[in-house]
Homo-oligomer: A and B are copies of this chain.
Amino acid sequence: MTSSLDPAIAARLERNPDGLLPAIVQQHDTGEVLMMAWMDDEALHRTLTSGRATYWSRSRREYWVKGETSGNPQHVKEVRLDCDGDTLLLKVDQVGVACHTGSRTCFDEGLLGG
């Protein structure tokens, strides 16, 4: 879709075949990795201009303002693009829990090794 994203930023993005970039979401002060989600240009535009983390839901095929239904928003402190232009890093202040399971992060339960 057409997006209002700053063309100078849009030109730096290396999107996947679906037009999306993965966004790693990190708690800004503790460094916890909270979750990963996906953004298209418009989700990035909304995130940068609203200060509220906004993603593209691949399953529901709609924009998703984190916390709009759960009551656990992410207030965006910083957005970074990696050296290849294909991955985003959001530093946020997560209100409450990040995971739909009720855990603080989406990785809390999933220890495979180490």
Contacts and interface: CB of A to CB of B under 8 A. Distances in A.
A1 interface: no
B101 A35 contact: no
Given A87-B106, A89-B107, A79 B22 contact: no
Nearest to A82: B106
A30 B78 CA distance: 18
A60 interface: no
Interface string A83-100: 110011101000000011
Contacts of A109: 83
A99 B69 CA distance: 37
Contacts of A71: none
Of A9, A84, A110, chain B has the most CB atoms within 10 Å of the CB of A110
A7 interface: no
B114 A100 contact: no
